[in-house]
Structure 1
């Protein structure tokens, strides 16, 4: 991704999709997983919007689209990835800018500190809730809370905040938490989530390629596990 003003990535995609549909629609868990898969793959926001435009144009020309609006981002996946590849190819042939301007700080230190503190509190609250029945999981949640608290020093560094470096640290913590959830969640919970995933994806599997489908499935399962244990996402992309 080519700029750290893209921390509003998800909200901008939601708003753009709503405008194309002509009506507000609650974003489904599958749509969230799709957006997260694009963000994880580094798909630029411009490519997402271009792909959505193309998907709507194609759908409206088809017999299925007569008088009906697209209901899900799942129908846009191929067009978005195609637009991303085009932008990548175009960028590879472009000369680098000799006068790059540093990006301004997107968030204030006070707002980021409050965001970190809120997430630490949620992690510790989750640890307390599961401690009686799942002590190993509680220990992992507590470790995550302490690791995040240790990152407060990043907000006290002199000079401009390095948001890209802060995001790297938070991504590592997110990935460790994701691994802990996947390995320690009970089998019956994982089966319930998998059944729900299969039900929600049934209508869209034909619109997605294998690697992308696997990424969306991982994002969906992780999101549902976070919801189950009332855990936060730590990345700045979820800052609010």
Structure 2
């Protein structure tokens, strides 16, 4: 994906620019960007979709209410992605950009990021469920991150960032599953209710599959915030 590691930042900046005033993205907005990333929606499609949504909004005779969520643009983003996909059929695909060249990452920078997350995980105080310890999984993840950081620092060369990103994603998903299992049901229900409430105005604008993924991402982010845990993805460097 073009501008792989700028995906979040560019979408945030573009949305704020089109809105005209600074607006911090909500948990729902960040979760939505993650669903776009996971669905393989190109950055260009996301930016074009945001433009199309605002052009439609600006064409309305009455604009007393501002666009306060990125979710307002979701339908146009999906439509734009589909249009681009259809237009690309039968054409040669460009050679994918090496993710390691996009932001000019340095081995020391990645190693420091991994060590920082390892320290946060090792210091976290997590609940323990019957037969399952989120604390143990966090400590195991911290050890793995330290090992990865040491190997990268010693080699003084960039690893394959796509492979590293996949591994970090697997570790984060494992940690999330543990948190979901040990968090009291009423707390999880409260977060899901919160997600449903925020999603309510936009349900008709998004496919059911995307709604389900967005709910999952929302709960994921809230639980990590609840326990003060870092995001492991290189997107958060």
Q: Which residue does 1:39 correspond to in 2?
A: 37
Q: Is residue 2:146 matched to residue 1:130?
A: no
Offset at residue 185 of structure 1 (A): 1.7
C-alpha distance in structure 2 between counterparts of 1:94 and 1:165, whole Å:
27
C-alpha distance in structure 2 between counterparts of 1:175 and 1:184, whole Å:
14
Give the conservation status (yes or no) of the 8 Å contact 2:127–2:183: no
Residues 1:221 and 1:160: Cα distance change in structure 2 (over 3 Å): closer
Give the conservation status (yes or no) of the 8 Å contact 2:111–2:148: no
Residues 1:44 and 1:177: Cα distance change in structure 2 (over 3 Å): same
Residues 1:206 and 1:111: Cα distance change in structure 2 (over 3 Å): same
Give the conservation status (yes or no) of the 8 Å contact 1:148–1:173: no
C-alpha distance in structure 2 between counterparts of 1:228 and 1:222, whole Å:
10
Aligned residues: 233
Offset at residue 66 of structure 1 (A): 2.5
Offset at residue 207 of structure 1 (A): 2.2
Q: TM-score, normalised by structure 1?
A: 0.87
Q: TM-score, normalised by structure 2?
A: 0.88
Q: Is residue 2:91 matched to residue 1:90?
A: no
Q: Which residue does 1:172 correspond to in 2?
A: 170
Q: Which residue does 2:76 correspond to in 1?
A: 79
Residues 1:53 and 1:194: Cα distance change in structure 2 (over 3 Å): same
Q: Is residue 2:67 matched to residue 1:70?
A: yes
Q: Structure 2 stretches of 5 or more lacking a match? A: none
Give the conservation status (yes or no) of the 8 Å contact 1:147–1:173: no
Residues 1:155 and 1:47: Cα distance change in structure 2 (over 3 Å): farther
Offset at residue 236 of structure 1 (A): 0.6
1:209-230 Cα distance to aligned partner (Å, 9 max, x none): 2111101100000000000011
Q: Which residue does 1:219 correspond to in 2?
A: 217
Local SS of the residue matching 1:204: helix
Q: Structure 1 stretches of 5 or more lacking a match? A: none
Q: Is residue 2:145 matched to residue 1:148?
A: yes
Residues 1:131 and 1:32: Cα distance change in structure 2 (over 3 Å): closer
